[in-house]
């Protein structure tokens, strides 16, 4: 069929085409046909239905190949953050007990040291050498109820929790996104949000591929992202506010040609109004959303109209998402979420799952208010705070702090920070006779925790404020921080 004689309706080749570009990185993208062939070869291994397959690495196209191969086999994809400290990595691998561990080249040593008891360990360069079984993968029946992905989020008990997302969770999140945003078969989306978070997969990756568009997958760097957007005519990407701030602060931002960008989805924490203004001045539509790993991750998202009218709003609910605001006080209350995109539970933690769920509703722990059908995030009911788009749970940090020699007990709270949104402030009670400085404590934690979890400041106190029932009064500590002068030192 040619484009001759089609009148005002020009013919355009369907993207349901094996030669259409699907996936790429720094080089040229591969077509959908080649992607399918690579997935088939990678799926021809000894991996069985239900096996967990971990991937330790940064964003790269091969991670998507591995994801699709694992899902085709009815196994479970477990992306693991390279930002984790070694003890945290061991906790995750112990919890999910993977049958195979794939890794980036720069994670080779870490993977090999951490892989005790894992049958198959392989780097990206050796993926396709694992195809002794041939190029035809075994037929595996996979249902919407089967687990597809486990994404780890720090737990409030100090141990990691793996949120299990089923094939149905991913499908309905994708449909929600497509109903909310006009994702096109001609889109060229940039995947810079980490694939070990739900956003990288759920809010741009899978919806774009579902529509037949193409993905460029890169590890985030502000300057490189701007160059890619300009040179490859990127039409969409997702980011946390810290990424948007870093990109807008890059010297190349002012002259960067962003005219191909149709929209940017951002979330994780509210963006600085000055950053929002900088992007909008370049003609870019910013769509703020609200979500969580347990929702795969979308819950609400702004539309082009609502974003322009009320940029502070996190938007309106997705199509297959029910919201309920419980125990409202002063117009705000805890947000509960229900929908077919919700996770099926925390891996191996039925008690944590039961605590989070109530008759099909997920308790988010976040306080919101509803105005004119739009959601405004007011505060966090739980103690979690967000630093540079990363969730930080104080209990996890406190568990590492309390394990340090000389520390009796500790509390960590989030404080506002112009660069990262929030950072941790630790209050530490030392054992009698112990002599430690704040920097010594921070240095010890750097070997135990990811850098973004290490408290920015440490304050030594003789005791922690408590209620009559023995609970720590975190609000008293936050109030103390508010009274302190900016020049107060970390060893106070």
pLDDT in tens, 419-473: 899 999 999 999 999 999 999 999 999 989 999 999 999 999 999 998 655 568 8
Residue 390 — pLDDT band, cuts 50, 70, 90? confident
Q: Which residues, in sequence order, are CB contacts of 328 under 8 Å at separation 6+?
A: 369
Sign of CA pseudo-dihedral 262, 206, 246, 256: negative
Q: CATH 3.30.300.30: does it fit domain 385-483?
A: yes
8-state DSSP, 42: H
Residue 378 has pLDDT above 90, yes or no: no
Give dist(CA 302, CA 310) in Å, integer. 9
Give dist(CA 1, CA 342) in Å, integer. 44
Rounded to whole angstroms, what are the CA distances from 106 to 56, 102, 117, 389?
10, 12, 21, 24
Measured in residues, the chain has a length of 492
What does the pLDDT read at residue 237?
98
Looking at residues 346-365, what average pLDDT do you find? Answer: 96
What does the pLDDT read at residue 135?
59
Give the residue, 365 or 343, on which the prediction is more confident: 343
CB atoms within 10 A of CB 440: 14
Beta bridge partners of 371: 374
Q: Which residues, in sequence order, are CB contacts of 293 under 8 Å at separation 6+?
A: 151, 153, 163, 197, 198, 343
What does the pLDDT read at residue 136?
67
205-245 pLDDT per residue, tens: 999 999 999 999 999 999 999 999 999 999 999 998 889 98
Residue 114 — pLDDT band, cuts 50, 70, 90? very high
Give dist(CA 218, CA 359) in Å, integer. 40
Give the residue, 62 or 10, on which the prediction is more confident: 62
Sign of CA pseudo-dihedral 14, 16, 18, 22: positive
21-375 against 385-483: fold identical: no
Decide if 426 contacts 455 (C-beta within 8 A): yes
Residue 8 has pLDDT above 80, yes or no: no
pTM value?
Answer: 0.82
Give dist(CA 167, CA 340) in Å, integer. 10
Rama region for 435: left / alpha / beta (φ>0; ψ in -120 to 50; rest): beta
What does the pLDDT read at residue 444?
95
Give the residue, 51 or 26, on which the prediction is more confident: 51
8-state DSSP, 439: H
Looking at residues 247-257, what average pLDDT do you find? Answer: 96
What does the pLDDT read at residue 63?
95
What does the pLDDT read at residue 1?
34
Beta bridge partners of 324: 336
Assign 73 to helix, strand or coil: coil
What does the pLDDT read at residue 330?
56
The gap between the terminal CA atoms of the chain, to the nearest Å, is 76
**Where do the structural domains in the chain lie, given as residue ranges?**
21-375, 385-483
Fold of 21-375: Rossmann fold (3.40.50)
Q: Which residues, in sequence order, are CB contacts of 301 under 8 Å at separation 6+?
A: 177, 180, 181, 265, 287, 288, 289, 290, 314, 315, 316, 318
Looking at residues 340-359, what average pLDDT do you find? Answer: 96
180-211 pLDDT per residue, tens: 999 999 999 999 999 999 998 999 999 999 99
Q: Which residues, in sequence order, are CB contacts of 329 under 8 Å at separation 6+?
A: none
Least confident of 6-15, 89-98, 162-171, 320-329: 6-15
CB atoms within 10 A of CB 427: 27
Write down the residue that tokens 């799926």 correspond to.
43
Assign 338 to helix, strand or coil: strand
What does the pLDDT read at residue 154?
61
**Shortest CA distance to 43 belongs to which of 22, 71, 84?**
71
HEC string for 308-331? HHCCCCCCEECCCCEEEEEEEECC
Looking at residues 266-294, what average pLDDT do you find? Answer: 89
CB atoms within 10 A of CB 464: 17
Give dist(CA 78, CA 129) in Å, integer. 21
Give dist(CA 411, CA 476) in Å, integer. 11
What does the pLDDT read at residue 331?
66
Give dist(CA 13, CA 10) in Å, integer. 10
Looking at residues 33-37, what average pLDDT do you find? Answer: 95
Preceding omega of 29 cis (within 30 degrees of 0):
no
Give dist(CA 165, CA 145) in Å, integer. 9
Residue 9 — pLDDT band, cuts 50, 70, 90? very low
Looking at residues 80-97, what average pLDDT do you find? Answer: 93
What does the pLDDT read at residue 266?
93
Give dist(CA 445, CA 392) in Å, integer. 14
Looking at residues 397-409, what average pLDDT do you find? Answer: 90
Residue 308 — pLDDT band, cuts 50, 70, 90? confident
């Amino acid at each position: 069929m040619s484009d001759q004689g089609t009148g005002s309706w020009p013919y355009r080749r369907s993207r349901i085409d094996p030669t259409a570009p699907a996936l790429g990185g720094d080089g040229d993208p591969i077509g959908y046909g080649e992607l399918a062939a690579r997935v088939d070869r990678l799926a021809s291994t000894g991996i069985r239905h239900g096996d967990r397959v971990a991937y330790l690495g940064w964003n790269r196209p091969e991670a998507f190949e591995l994801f699709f191969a694992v899902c085709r086999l009815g196994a479970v994809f477990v992306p693991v953050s390279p930002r984790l400290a070694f003890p945290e990595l061991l906790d995750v691998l112990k919890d999910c007990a993977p049958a195979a561990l794939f890794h980036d080249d720069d994670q080779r040593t870490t993977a090999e040291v951490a892989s005790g008891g894992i049958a198959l360990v392989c780097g990206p360069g050796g993926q396709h050498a694992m195809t002794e079984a041939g190029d035809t993968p075994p037929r595996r029946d996979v249902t919407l109820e089967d687990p597809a992905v486990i994404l780890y989020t720090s737990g409030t008990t100090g141990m990691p929790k793996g949120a299990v997302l089923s094939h149905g969770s991913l499908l309905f999140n994708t449909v929600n996104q497509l109903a909310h945003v006009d994702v096109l078969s001609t889109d060229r989306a940039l995947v810079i949000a980490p694939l070990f978070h739900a956003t990288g997969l759920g809010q741009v990756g899978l919806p774009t591929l579902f529509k037949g568009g193409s993905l460029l997958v890169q590890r985030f760097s502000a300057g490189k992202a701007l160059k890619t957007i300009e040179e490859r005519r990127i039409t969409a990407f997702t980011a946390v506010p810290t990424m948007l701030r870093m990109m807008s602060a890059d010297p190349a931002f002012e002259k960067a040609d962003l005219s191909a960008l149709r929209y940017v989805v951002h979330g994780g924490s509210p963006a600085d109004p000055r950053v929002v203004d900088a992007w909008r001045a370049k003609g870019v539509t910013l769509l703020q959303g609200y979500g969580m790993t347990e929702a795969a991750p979308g819950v609400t998202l702004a539309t082009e109209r609502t974003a322009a009218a009320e940029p502070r709003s996190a938007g309106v609910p997705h199509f297959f998402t029910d919201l309920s605001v419980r125990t409202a006080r002063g117009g705000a209350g805890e947000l509960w979420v229900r929908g077919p995109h919700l996770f099926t539970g925390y891996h191996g933690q039925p008690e944590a799952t039961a605590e989070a769920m109530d008759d099909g509703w997920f308790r988010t722990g976040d306080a919101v208010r509803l105005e004119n059908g739009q959601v405004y995030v007011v505060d966090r009911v739980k103690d979690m705070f967000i630093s540079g788009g990363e969730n930080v749970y104080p209990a996890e940090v406190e568990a590492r702090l309390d394990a340090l020699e000389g520390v009796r007990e500790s509390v960590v709270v989030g404080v506002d920070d112009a660069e990262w949104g929030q950072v941790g402030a630790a209050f530490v009670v030392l054992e009698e006779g112990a002599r430690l400085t704040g920097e010594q404590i921070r240095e010890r934690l750097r070997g135990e925790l990811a850098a973004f979890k290490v408290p920015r400041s440490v304050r030594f106190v003789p005791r922690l404020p408590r209620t009559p029932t023995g609970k720590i009064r975190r609000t008293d500590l936050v109030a103390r921080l508010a009274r302190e002068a900016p020049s107060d030192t970390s060893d106070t």
